[in-house]
Structure 1
Amino acid sequence: MGFSLSPLAQQNGFRLEAFDTVGSTNAIALERAQSGDPGRLWIVSKKQESGRGRRGRAWATSHGNLAASLLVVGSFELKTAATLGFVAGLSLADALDAVCPQANIAVGVDGAGSRKEPMQIELKWPNDVLANGAKLSGILLESTQLPDGRFAIVIGIGVNVVAYPEDVPYPATSLAKLGATCDAETLFLALSDAWEENSRIWNEGRGLADIRKRWLKRAAGIGSEVAVRVDGAVLRGIFETIDEDCRFVIRDNDGERVKIAAGDVHFGAVASASAG
């Protein structure tokens, strides 16, 4: 089966460019924007060789994983557009619920046996999706200004479908490792459909309060110890919530509430060992 859009996405004017292998789906989407593409364009691939992660980190994927980028062109402010990362996280979580509802859970002290249980999908601020506590997906937003003064926003979504990186300082996983049989094409079909519902709720930022409520229901780590690396410094405290602008809110060791607009978040043992 090849990549395809859901009927609802097609009905609402979305288009699709699919590749077997690309350098970067985000880069292609940004090129399309500069060439005058009106947006509502998905760029997808099963292998990405020179993608980008947050803060300019290199990111490549194995063949069979999902790399998807959505080009959105609008007149809304960049501050508002930045919240599309939360829309993307919710959309992917909904898609995973639809097509990969269960995972293999190891049983016994030696992990020799397993049983099927519902997959626990959580959202980690700002733009990661976790499955059973390990990173399954990362989301990267990039923007470019257009000649007419508007901005083009590209929402890049990478999902570990068949393989996951092992040389990273945090737990990671893939759908295959979790025992899910969903492939990249099936997951993208569900994602393109789920995006329609969540972007309708977002409504160019007017429905952000509802998106925030939905995101918090799936949030990872609320009430737990957290360390946030911000511009080389590490802030520690308890993760309380995200505020109305989707900033990360912690209660620090002095009892003060601190709002963070950007940073790398670590929970639990990783917060204690890796973020200092």
Structure 2
Amino acid sequence: MTSLLEILADCQPHSFENLTALFACSDEELLARIQTLQKQGILIDTAFSEVRLIPQTPLLSAVKIQQVFPRHKIMYVPVIDSTNRLLLTNMSRLNKGDICITEHQTAGRGRRGRQWQSPFAAQAIFSMMWQVDAGKSVDGLSLTVGMAIRRAICKLGSDQAKLKWPNDILLHGRKLAGILIETAGTENGRLNLVIGVGINIAVVRDTNQIDQAWANLQEILPKIDRTLLLITVFEELIQALTEFERHGITPEFQQQWRQNDAFFQHEVNIIKEKQVISGIEQGIDERGHLRLQVGNEWMTFNGGEVSLRKNGG
């Protein structure tokens, strides 16, 4: 059944009369549904017996994005449970580089199953289908994605974003963007991947439910256009993924990572299931694994095994 949010996602005025008829409910019941959405940080105007969703930023233009990437399918679903899930369940009908974008996720997920909050039109959210040779290691792939996002932000006017191994982009120590990569089986010697990204743009501070320190891109790029941001990210990402397929994590990439690593040469904690290891973060190796100096010893960690926290943070 179509939800109220899906109906309002066009950001056009809808009369109380039409909405109550559509949902077979009273005015009071409709207002209760509206209030539930408002508590989630979604701005809704109910003046003049009309209901209109007010997007946090202008809506995305899938038409403009499709014009830039004519060889790829750009799917625009204003309200969705999860862009990753849509690609995962439609893998047989997709091609490498196809993309799903949305204004709002109702069941977005982060690394290790954490919930990723998604106010309406306040983030840049997408998932991209990609393929690599099944015999090739994908260790370090999330680092490649993070670096591509940072490069896109630099192109648009700011070099302040930093990288946090293995899945985050930070701004002034707070989470600006997250990455979730999922595998979707092997076909004809190719491993199918879904790369999900969420970038905070204009999340309202007094209504969000994000349970960690976070930042908005508007703090450093106050006039950022989300459509232009996604176009720039997609350009950088396709180029970066192609290079990763060919060369993996190169010495040049390792050097670039060190230069943009938020925690490089800082004391950090590596959190394992039953153990916390403290040491000095020393960048990444040729596999994209984290390098940690613990006293006179050197240790490496795979992103799937552990979480990284700055010591005392």
Distance 2:287 2:175 in 1: 24
Distance 1:176 1:225 in 2: 30
- Equivalent residue in structure 1 for 2:164, among 115, 124, 134: 124
- Look up the match of 1:2: 61
233 and 19 in structure 1: CA distance in 2 versus 1, 3 angstrom threshold:
same
2 and 158 in structure 1: CA distance in 2 versus 1, 3 angstrom threshold:
same
Q: Is 2:72–2:95's contact at 8 Å kept on the other side of the alignment? A: no
- Look up the match of 1:184: 226
Higher strand share: 1
6 and 122 in structure 1: CA distance in 2 versus 1, 3 angstrom threshold:
farther
- Look up the match of 1:116: none
Distance 1:6 1:200 in 2: 20
Paired residue secondary structure (2:287): coil
The answer to whether the aligner puts 1:79 opposite 2:137 as a matched pair is: yes
Q: Is 1:6–1:189's contact at 8 Å kept on the other side of the alignment? A: no
Letter in 1 for 2:182: E
Distance 1:66 1:207 in 2: 27
Distance 1:36 1:6 in 2: 18
Distance 1:199 1:153 in 2: 11
- Look up the match of 1:257: 298
Letter in 2 for 1:243: D
Aligned residues: percent identity?
23
**Unmatched 5+ residue regions in structure 1?**
102-118, 271-276
Distance 1:194 1:167 in 2: 28
Q: Any idea what the Cα deviations from partners look like across 1:173-223, whole Å, max 9, x if unmatched?
A: 112344622132221011111123323332x15242143333332111111
TM-score by length of structure 2 reads: 0.72
Q: Any idea what the Cα deviations from partners look like across 1:70-95, whole Å, max 9, x if unmatched?
A: 10123243632x42212211111111
214 and 205 in structure 1: CA distance in 2 versus 1, 3 angstrom threshold:
farther
Paired residue secondary structure (2:178): strand
- Look up the match of 2:126: 68
Paired residue secondary structure (2:218): coil
Letter in 2 for 1:20: P
Distance 1:244 1:56 in 2: 27
Paired residue secondary structure (1:61): coil
Larger Rg: 2
Aligned pairs (5 A) from 1:184-263: 184-202=226-244, 204-209=245-250, 210-252=252-294, 254-262=295-303, 263=306
- Look up the match of 2:201: 161
TM-score by length of structure 1 reads: 0.81
The answer to whether the aligner puts 1:266 opposite 2:309 as a matched pair is: yes
Paired residue secondary structure (2:148): helix
Distance 2:189 2:221 in 1: 47
Size of the aligned set, in residue pairs, is 246
How much does 1:149 deviate?
5.3
Q: Any idea what the Cα deviations from partners look like across 1:204-256, whole Å, max 9, x if unmatched?
A: 1524214333333211111111001112311101001211111111111x321
Letter in 2 for 1:79: S
Distance 1:256 1:229 in 2: 18
Distance 2:274 2:136 in 1: 25
Q: Which structure exhibits the higher relative contact order, with contacts defined as CA atoms closer than 8 Å and separated by 6 or more residues? A: 1
Q: Any idea what the Cα deviations from partners look like across 1:61-118, whole Å, max 9, x if unmatched?
A: 11111111110123243632x42212211111111112242xxxxxxxxxxxxxxxxx
Q: Is 2:81–2:108's contact at 8 Å kept on the other side of the alignment? A: yes
Over the aligned positions, Cα root-mean-square deviation in angstroms equals: 2.2
Paired residue secondary structure (1:79): coil
How much does 1:28 deviate?
0.8
55 and 17 in structure 1: CA distance in 2 versus 1, 3 angstrom threshold:
same
Distance 2:79 2:184 in 1: 24
Distance 1:78 1:266 in 2: 29
Distance 1:32 1:216 in 2: 37
- Look up the match of 2:57: none
How much does 1:16 deviate?
1.0
Higher helix share: 2
Paired residue secondary structure (1:172): coil
